[in-house]
């Protein structure tokens, strides 16, 4: 089975300090057909200029908020597999390969599914986002997708998007 191309969505609001590092971590991992979409969410710094220095698609979302920017990116994506990371995230060197392997081998039945993983917070080492996941699972009764480390099928996105909250305050 061939490896599926991936659309990587990055919502960005005034991320000039971090975006280049994020994009530099992703670029060597790209394969034919992959795309990176940076969704500008009304930045007034040099976020857009930095994004345009890389081979990425920059689109605008005027409605302020991470959820709106994220959704705009997902809706604009051309590939079957959607991955999302944060503009201030530096992904692992094998992040996209791990996503590809999941969707070509583990999820070979093309089920509506998603994957997520840990996010290590440099500011709070040695803690990792998994601690938050444990608390979330205990309070909600299920796991949630980690914003800086998630991937799922376009089909799952289409099935769920109308049911998701756009309230970023929660």
| pLDDT for the residue 133 | 46
- Residue range 119-159, pLDDT digits in tens: 555 554 444 444 444 444 444 454 555 556 788 888 888 88
User: Do residues 157 and 114 make contact, with C-beta atoms less than 8 angstroms apart?
Assistant: no
Q: Give me the residue label for tokens 């009764």.
A: 141
Select from 31, 8, 30, 7 the least CA-distant residue to 19.
8
- The Cα–Cα gap between 11 and 86 comes to 7
Look at 132 and 22; give whichever has higher pLDDT. 22
Task: Return the minimum-mean-pLDDT range out of 48-52, 87-91, 164-168.
Answer: 164-168
- The Cα–Cα gap between 70 and 65 comes to 9
In a domain, 84, yes or no: yes
In a domain, 33, yes or no: yes
In a domain, 37, yes or no: yes
> In total, how many domains does the chain have?
1
- Residue range 57-74, pLDDT digits in tens: 999 999 999 889 999 999
In a domain, 129, yes or no: no
Look up the CATH number of the domain holding residue 19.
3.90.550.10
């Amino acid at each position: 089975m061939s490896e599926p191309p991936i659309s990587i969505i990055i919502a960005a609001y005034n991320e000039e300090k971090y975006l280049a590092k994020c994009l530099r971590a992703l670029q060597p991992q790209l394969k034919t057909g992959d795309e990176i979409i940076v969704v500008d969410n009304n930045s007034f710094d040099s976020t857009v200029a930095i994004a345009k220095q890389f081979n990425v698609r920059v689109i605008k979302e005027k409605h302020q908020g991470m959820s709106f920017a994220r959704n705009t990116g997902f809706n604009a994506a051309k590939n079957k597999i959607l991955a999302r990371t944060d503009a201030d995230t530096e992904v692992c060197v094998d992040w996209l390969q791990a996503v590809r392997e999941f969707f070509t081998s583990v999820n070979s039945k093309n089920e509506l599914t998603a994957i997520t993983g840990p996010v290590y917070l440099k500011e709070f080492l040695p803690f990792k986002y998994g601690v938050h996941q444990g608390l979330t699972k205990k309070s909600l009764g299920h796991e949630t997708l980690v914003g800086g480390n998630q991937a799922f099928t376009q089909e799952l996105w289409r099935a769920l998007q109308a049911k998701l909250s756009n309230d970023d305050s929660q």
